[in-house]
Amino acid sequence: MFSAWGRFVHRRHWLVLALSLVLLGASGYVVHEGGKLQPAGPTQTAESARATKLIEQELPRASAATFVLIYSSPTLTAKDPAFQEAVARSLEPLRSDPRVASIVSPFDGSVADPTPYISKDGHAAFVSVALTDDTVTAGAYYPQLRSLVRSDTLQVQATGTVAIVNGFNTVLATDLRRAELISLPLVAILLLIVFGSVVAAFIPLGVGLLAVLAGLAGMFLLSRATDVSQYAENIVTLLGLGVAIDYSLFVTNRFREELHRGRSTEEAVANALATAGRAITFSGITVAIGESGMLFYQGTYLTSMGTAAAIVVGMAVLYGLTFLPALLSVLGRRIDLVRVPIFAADPTGRGPWHSLAMGVMKRPVLVLVPIIALIGVIASPIVHIDLANGDVTMLPKREESRAAYDKLISDFPGAGQTHVQVVVDYAGGDPLSAAHIPQLVDLQRRLAALPNAQRVSSPFSLDPRLDAGAYTALYTLPASQLPPQLQAVMSAIGPQRLAALREQTVGPHIVLYDVATDVQDNSDAAHQLVRDARALSAPPGAEKLVTGFPASDLDTVTFIESRTVPAVAYVMLATAIVLFLLLGSVVLPLKAIVMNLLSIGASFGALVFVFQEGHLADQLGFTASGTIDPTLPVIMFCSLFGLSMDYEVLLLSRIQEEYVRTGDNTGAVAEGLERSGRLITGAAAIMVGVFLAFGLAEVFLIKALGLGMALAVAIDATLVRALVVPATMRLLGSVNWWAPGPLARLYRRLALGERQGEGPVTVDTA
pLDDT grade, residue 347 (50/70/90)? very low
Predicted confidence (pLDDT) at residue 342 exceeds the cutoff of 70: no
Kindly report the number of other CB atoms within 10 A of residue 529's CB atom: 26
- Nearest one of 513, 495, 360 to 431, comparing CA atoms: 513
pTM: 0.82
**Rounded to 5°, angle at Cα 367 from 366 and 368:** 95
Q: What residue ranges define each of the domains in the chain, with the CATH number in brackets?
A: 1-33+196-349 (1.20.1640.10), 65-165 (3.30.70), 427-541 (no CATH)
Task: Give the pLDDT score at 146.
Answer: 93
- Nearest one of 148, 150, 153 to 82, comparing CA atoms: 153
Predicted confidence (pLDDT) at residue 63 exceeds the cutoff of 80: no
The mean per-residue pLDDT over the stretch 450-479 comes to: 87
Task: Give the pLDDT score at 62.
Answer: 58
CA dist., res. 422 & res. 510, Å (int): 10
Task: Give the pLDDT score at 764.
Answer: 34
What tens digit of pLDDT does each residue of 684-735 get? 888 898 889 988 998 888 899 999 999 998 888 888 888 898 899 889 888 8
CA dist., res. 307 & res. 236, Å (int): 10
- Nearest one of 3, 54, 140, 101 to 513, comparing CA atoms: 54
The mean per-residue pLDDT over the stretch 468-497 comes to: 80
CA dist., res. 166 & res. 135, Å (int): 10
Counts of helices then strands in the chain (DSSP H, E):
28, 8
What tens digit of pLDDT does each residue of 430-460 get? 899 999 999 999 999 999 999 999 999 899 9
Predicted confidence (pLDDT) at residue 110 exceeds the cutoff of 80: no
CA dist., res. 292 & res. 290, Å (int): 5
| Residue 282 DSSP one-character state | H
Task: Give the pLDDT score at 357.
Answer: 81
Predicted confidence (pLDDT) at residue 344 exceeds the cutoff of 70: no
Write down how long the chain is.
766
Distance of CA 38 to the CA centre of its chain: 12
Alpha-helix residue ranges (DSSP H) falling in 390-481: 400-411, 437-448, 468-476
Task: Give the pLDDT score at 620.
Answer: 86
Task: Give the pLDDT score at 679.
Answer: 79
CA dist., res. 493 & res. 640, Å (int): 60
CA dist., res. 407 & res. 755, Å (int): 68
Alpha-helix residue ranges (DSSP H) falling in 224-264: 232-260
Q: How far is CA 438 from CA 181, 456, 467, in A?
A: 64, 17, 9
Backbone angles phi, psi at 593, to 5 degrees: -65, -45
Pseudo-torsion of CA 552, 555, 557, 559, nearest 10°?
-140
Exposure of 85 in the CB half-sphere (CA atoms within 13 A): 6
What tens digit of pLDDT does each residue of 174-212 get? 988 898 889 888 888 888 887 877 888 888 888 999 999
The mean per-residue pLDDT over the stretch 136-140 comes to: 84
DSSP 391-414: -GGGS-TTSHHHHHHHHHHHHSTT
Task: Give residue 39's identity as a one-letter amino acid code.
Answer: P
Predicted confidence (pLDDT) at residue 253 exceeds the cutoff of 90: no
Predicted confidence (pLDDT) at residue 306 exceeds the cutoff of 60: yes
What tens digit of pLDDT does each residue of 350-400 get? 567 778 888 888 889 999 999 999 999 999 999 999 988 878 888 898 899
What tens digit of pLDDT does each residue of 215-246 get? 999 999 998 888 888 888 888 998 888 889 88
Task: Give the pLDDT score at 242.
Answer: 86
Contact 247, 317 (CB under 8 A): yes
CA dist., res. 623 & res. 608, Å (int): 14
Predicted confidence (pLDDT) at residue 660 exceeds the cutoff of 90: no
Kindly report the number of other CB atoms within 10 A of residue 1's CB atom: 12
Task: Give the pLDDT score at 351.
Answer: 63
Contact 16, 323 (CB under 8 A): yes
Non-local CB neighbours of 377 within 8 Å, separated by 6+ positions:
none
Contact 720, 595 (CB under 8 A): yes
CA dist., res. 435 & res. 371, Å (int): 71
CA dist., res. 280 & res. 642, Å (int): 12
Predicted confidence (pLDDT) at residue 119 exceeds the cutoff of 70: yes
Predicted confidence (pLDDT) at residue 752 exceeds the cutoff of 80: no
Predicted confidence (pLDDT) at residue 108 exceeds the cutoff of 80: yes
pLDDT grade, residue 341 (50/70/90)? low
Alpha-helix residue ranges (DSSP H) falling in 196-231: 198-223
The mean per-residue pLDDT over the stretch 100-119 comes to: 84
Contact 631, 705 (CB under 8 A): no
Task: Give the pLDDT score at 42.
Answer: 60
Report the range of poorest mean pLDDT among 133-137, 156-160, 524-528. 133-137
Helix-helix angle 323-331:2-11, to 10 degrees: 60
Q: How far is CA 492 from CA 114, 459, 486, in A?
A: 16, 16, 10
The mean per-residue pLDDT over the stretch 312-319 comes to: 94
Contact 255, 269 (CB under 8 A): yes
* Average pLDDT of the chain, as a whole number: 86
- Nearest one of 633, 660, 670 to 758, comparing CA atoms: 660
Task: Give the pLDDT score at 617.
Answer: 86
Predicted confidence (pLDDT) at residue 757 exceeds the cutoff of 70: no
Sheet of 510-517, strands arranged across? 455-457, 510-517, 418-425, 543-547
Which contiguous run of DSSP H or E holds residue 457? strand 455-457
Task: Give residue 435's identity as a one-letter amino acid code.
Answer: A
What tens digit of pLDDT does each residue of 255-272 get? 988 898 888 999 999 999
Predicted confidence (pLDDT) at residue 58 exceeds the cutoff of 90: no
Kindly report the number of other CB atoms within 10 A of residue 368's CB atom: 17
Which contiguous run of DSSP H or E holds residue 134? none
Burial of 648 (0-12, 13-18, 19+ CB in 10 A): buried
Task: Give the pLDDT score at 584.
Answer: 87
Strands 418-425 and 155-159: unpaired
Q: From the CA atom positions of the chain, what is the Rg in Å?
A: 31
Task: Give the pLDDT score at 60.
Answer: 61
pLDDT grade, residue 79 (50/70/90)? very high
Q: What is the largest CA-CA distance in the chain?
A: 112
Predicted confidence (pLDDT) at residue 214 exceeds the cutoff of 80: yes
Task: Give the pLDDT score at 760.
Answer: 35
